[in-house]
Structures are given as C-alpha cells and as structure tokens.
C-alpha cells in the first residue's frame, strides 16, 4: 500500500508560508518522499499501518488550505507514468527495505 499526500496551502502571508513549510517538513520527518513541492508519497505496507500516518496528518494539518490523502496498491503505484523534460521516468517501484537488528 502506498500513500500519497497532496496539498494546496495558502502562502500569501509570512505566517502562511511558515505554516506550509512546517507541514512539508513534518511530512519529510514522517518518512514521506517529495514527488513535487506539494505531493509526497510513502510506502505504508497495509491499510491498517497507514492509519497512524492519517491520524498524524490530521493532527498536524495547517489551519487553512486543502490536504488530500490517496491510497494505491503496489500494482497501481507501479503504473504511474512520470514525465520530466519530455522523457518518461520510472517512479520507485519498490520501497526501501527495512533492516531489523
């Protein structure tokens, strides 16, 4: 299961820009990878394990703006087509493997 967070946050005032930046940094600290400035993804394994991230996002959600959370299976995520400078680029097909000590 992959989780994608997309958001559109206001950035007109200094406080709004700080709030948007805090939210971006929060997502990075939670292990999300930036796809675009306002699009972040993370492999969560199962629906159940993704719910802790949903709760954390709801808790850290900025006061204003839109935040959307989407879920994809591995198969659906592997079918995403990403084009950069007119060249098709493959998104990461497999999550980083976790090491257990």
Q: How do the pLDDT tens digits run along the chain, 101 residues long?
A: 999 999 999 999 999 999 999 999 999 999 999 999 999 999 999 999 999 999 999 999 999 999 999 999 988 988 888 888 888 876 665 555 554 44
Going from the C-alpha of 26 to that of each of 30, 57, 92, 95, the distances in angstroms are 6, 9, 22, 20
The domains located in the chain, with CATH, are 2-89 (3.30.70.240)
Which of 73, 36, 29, 71 is CA-nearest to residue 50? 71
- Start-to-end CA span in the chain (Å): 24
Q: pLDDT tens digits, residue range 75-94?
A: 898 888 888 888 887 666 55
d(CA 4, CA 44): 10
State the alpha helices, DSSP H only, in 1-101: 14-29, 47-60, 74-78
DSSP 85: T
The model's pTM is: 0.83
């Amino acid at each position: 299961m992959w989780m994608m967070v997309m958001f559109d946050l206001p950035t007109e005032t200094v406080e709004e820009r700080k709030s948007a930046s805090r939210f971006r940094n929060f997502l990075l600290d939670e292990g999300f990878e930036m796809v675009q400035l306002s699009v972040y993804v993370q492999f969560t394994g199962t629906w159940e394990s993704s719910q802790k991230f949903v709760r954390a996002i709801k808790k850290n959600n900025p006061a204003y703006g839109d935040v959307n959370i989407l879920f994809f299976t591995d198969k659906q995520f592997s079918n995403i087509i990403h084009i950069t400078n007119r060249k098709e680029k493959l998104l990461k097909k497999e999550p980083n493997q976790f090491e257990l000590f």
